Amino acid sequence: MEFDKGLLIVLSGPSGVGKGTVCAALRNFMPELVYSVSATTRNKREGEREGINYFFKTKDEFEQMIEQDQLLEWAEYVDNYYGTPRGFVEATIDQGKDIILEIEVQGALQVKQKFPHGIFIFLAPPDLEELRNRIVGRGTETEETINNRMDVAKEEIELMDNYNYVVVNDQVAHACESIRAIVTAEHLKKERQIAKYRKWLREV
Ligand SMILES: Nc1ncnc2c1ncn2[C@@H]1O[C@H](COP(=O)(O)OP(=O)(O)OP(=O)(O)O)[C@@H](O)[C@H]1O
Ligand SMILES: Nc1nc2c(ncn2[C@@H]2O[C@H](COP(=O)(O)O)[C@@H](O)[C@H]2O)c(=O)[nH]1
């Protein structure tokens, strides 16, 4: 654990569970957090903006980012690439600020290899029927993509044990409160460790 660094928080979970919705609500609820913006090769959805929702890349541009080691993690998800720009994350935590990454499960597991002291939160749906209803209700996917995303979701839920915390997204406000409680508890834990270490230094 590096005492003067910020916390790296990963919010992950299946497509449609509400990661984006919860993250958007957290921006008001926890304005002190820095939000990582991912790169992707998928097409821009209506209303999405470059550099705000994603950095939209061609496949060639994305592959160049991989080759140049510019990504902390990346994954191919339902026929598109998604990845977290490394420099921004590292600079933010080096400045002592907490950063949150909203990413899918393969990417979260890669981050865990590199940052084992990160805080990994799995956002879970109340049940699979509600998950499907949410993806369908969002109206952004074709029937085929919905089925693909549901198949991936079932595999992702199996990997829940790799996370430090599971938050059920029954209501967005509840999920935000739980995430704030987790971050507060992690800060207290870190402060206690620092105090214990300083006490030990004085005594040796
Ligand atoms: N707690 C909730 N109760 C009911 N509906 C919700 C809740 N959270 C999110 N939703 C709805 O579920 C749909 C999917 O949410 P969202 O796009 O945030 O999911 P996501 O996990 O970010 O998906 P993806 O991984 O595909 O980007 C949206 O229509 C959103 O309004
Ligand atoms: N591994 C990563 N996954 C990411 C990243 N940014 C977003 N995502 C996840 O991809 C899916 C699909 O997103 P959508 O915007 O097309 O619906 C979803 O689970 C996101 O959380 C990333 O940088 N790395």
In degrees, to the nearest 5, what angle opens at C-alpha 59 toward C-alphas 58 and 65? 90
The reported pLDDT for the residue numbered 141 is 86
Query: Is 14 annotated as contributing to ligand binding?
Result: yes
Complex prediction ipTM: 0.97
User: Is the Cβ atom of 73 under 6 angstroms away from ligand 2?
Assistant: yes
Query: Is 18 annotated as contributing to ligand binding?
Result: yes
Buried b (16+ CB within 10 A) or exposed e, 140-167: ebeeeebebbbebbeebbeeeeebebeb
Domain 1-33+98-204 indexed as CATH 3.30.230.10: no
Report the separation in Å between the CA atom of 5 and the middle of ligand 2, taken as the mean of its atom positions.
25
The pTM of this model reads: 0.94
**What CATH number labels 37-97?**
3.30.63.10
Pocket test for ligand 1, best of 121, 134, 157, 169 (most atoms within 8 A of CB): 134
Q: Extract the residue ranges of the chain whose pLDDT is less than 50.
A: none
Query: Is 78 annotated as contributing to ligand binding?
Result: no
Task: Please identify, by atom number, the ligand 1 atom nearest to the C-alpha of residue 104.
Answer: 25
The reported pLDDT for the residue numbered 138 is 87
Domain ranges of the chain: 1-33+98-204, 37-97
